[in-house]
Amino acid sequence: MKYAEEFRDPIAARAVLDKIQQVVDQIGATAEKPVHIMEICGGHTHAIFRYGLDKLTPAGIEFIHGPGCPVCVLPMSRVDECVELAERPEVIFTTFGDAMRVPGTRKSLLQAKAEGADIRMVYSPLDALEIARRNPDREVVFFGLGFETTTPSTALSIQQAAREGLENFTVFCNHITVPPPIKALLDDPHMVLDGFVGPGHVSMVIGIHPYDFIAEDYGKPLVVAGFEPLDLLQSVLMVLEQIRDGRAEIENQYSRVVPDDGNPVSIAAIADVYEERPTFEWRGLGEIDASGLRIRDTYAAFDAEVKFGIGYGADRRIVAEPEGCSCGAVMTGRMKPVQCEQFGKGCTPEMPLGALMVSSEGACAAYYQYGGARAAEPAE
Ligand code: SF4
């Protein structure tokens, strides 16, 4: 297949769904005793609801929505630090748009902007670099946020700033990595996970081998998937076939985009610019070992934590989630978004209480946008 429409062909989708039903029957999965498949990536969560795959697939499959939305897992204390940075008079704070509405303790970046902070939305860290070149008397801070998908572009912008000797450009680094939270979830005795649909964009950078431990140490299958409905259906089928056959392997359904060994240029840029933090906080999941990146000392001149004295040590402030917010339970599959008492009431995309309602990749936003809001209404 070559064109997007071919990956949305209803006849082909029906054929894969029939095969999925067959394998579900062979496994003996039912609505009462389902197979639990976690889609790690928020983009996959969005696609599952957008195309109604949760309703088309048999009741014997339960999708667990994973922690793969970087905006959703950003801890509230880091949002507060963003706001504090952005409110400094010398700072131009630059960020991707999806971080603007994430609630902090006091306010979001959007509210800080409304109150006069110089916050500018950019499409790339290269835009932030250009703002720095044009404003030599101001400090331009780029909010580095995201998984391995966006980590390389931030690294390349830091390398470029170093080459140019830019003295007014820094990055507030909040980049995180996908494999450690999967390990944390697999180590959680309360989690029931039978297999994974692996992230497509992240894997385009890191390849498929960083997931080998999932098969080798935990005996669970993972299939890296694309984002079209047929990609997802085929990936679910591949996971189910592994479960049926008693196999646990890392497979690549998205090979038209994901090289098994990843992108060597991106991997080299990441290794040059960043090092692992011993631990990093994930909203709803707590501290996870070796799950965050910080900027190496070689590039300390471009590290906003160094320039503005923002630490990330053991003594840092941990901020509790707002009362009634169940983001952690949703993110670990213990609760569906519609079961949160705030869903569609105290928490909507217009006025989010929790981060899962902010980004389009958040599970709560996906439920709300594609019919979950109706599911929350009491039955007549
Ligand atoms: S509805 Fe809002 S508060 Fe509840 S889990 Fe979702 S994002 Fe969090």
Type of residue at 358: V
Q: Is the CB of 359 under 6 A from ligand 1?
A: no
pLDDT of residue 378: 44
Does position 238 have pLDDT exceeding 90, yes or no? yes
pLDDT mean over 35-57: 94
- What is the per-residue DSSP string for 59-71? TTEEEEEEEE-TT
Instruction: Please indicate whether residue 232, judged by its CB atom, sits closer than 6 Å to ligand 1.
Output: no
Q: Is 356 in the pocket of ligand 1 (CB under 6 A)?
A: yes
| Residues 365 and 358 sit within 8 Å (Cβ to Cβ) | yes
Query: How far is 372 from 56, CA to CA, in rounded Å?
Result: 15
Give the chain's mean pLDDT.
92
Give residue 2's pLDDT: 72
- CA distances (Å), 107 to each of 76, 168, 236, 341, in order? 10, 26, 40, 22
Are 31 and 211 a contacting pair, CB within 8 Å?
Answer: no
- pLDDT band, residue 314 (cuts 50/70/90): low
Give the pLDDT mean for 355-380.
73
Structure-block tokens of residue 182: 């999967």
| Percent share of the chain, pLDDT over 70 | 96
Torsion-angle region of 262 (φ positive above 0: left; ψ -120 to 50: alpha; else: beta):
left
Ligand 1 mutation target, pool 353, 358, 361, most atoms within 8 A of CB: 353
> What is the CA(85)–ligand 1 centre distance, in A?
27
Using DSSP's 3-state secondary structure scheme, residue 292 falls into strand
354 close to ligand 1 (CB < 6 Angstrom): yes
Between CA 68 and CA 134 the distance in angstroms is: 35
Question: Residue 14 in contact with residue 8, Cβ under 8 Å?
Answer: no
Radius of gyration of the chain measured on its C-alpha atoms: 21
Give Cα 194 to chain centroid, integer Å. Answer: 21
- Characterize the bridge pairing of strands 139-146 and 91-95: parallel
Is the pLDDT confidence value at 219 over 80? yes
Q: Is the CB of 325 under 6 A from ligand 1?
A: yes
State the Cα–Cα distance between residues 56 and 185, nearest whole angstrom. Answer: 27
Instruction: Give the residue carrying structure tokens 């909507």.
Output: 348
What is the structure's pLDDT at 283? 85
Considering only 3-7, 248-252, 318-322, which range has the smallest mean pLDDT? 318-322
> Which atom of ligand 1 is found nearest the CA of 343?
1
Q: Decide: 364 in ligand 1 pocket, CB within 6 A.
A: yes
Sign of CA pseudo-dihedral 50, 51, 56, 57: negative
- Quick one: which atom of ligand 1 is closest to the CA of 341? 4
Atom of ligand 1 nearest to the CA of 364: 6
Amino acid 71: pLDDT: 87
Distance 231 CA to ligand 1 centre (A): 28
- 357 ligand 1 Cβ < 6 A: yes
Residue-wise over 335-370: b if at least 16 C-beta within 10 A, else e? ebbbebebbbebbbbeebbbbbbbbbbbbbbbbbeb
Nearest-atom index, ligand 1, CA of 347: 2
Closest ligand 1 atom, residue 340 Cα: 4
Q: How big is the chain, counted in residues?
A: 380
Choose the CATH number for 76-177+262-308 among 3.30.428.10, 3.40.50.11740, 3.55.50.30, 3.40.1190.20: 3.40.50.11740
Q: Is 340 in the pocket of ligand 1 (CB under 6 A)?
A: yes
Q: What is the pLDDT of residue 374?
A: 46
**Global pTM?**
0.91
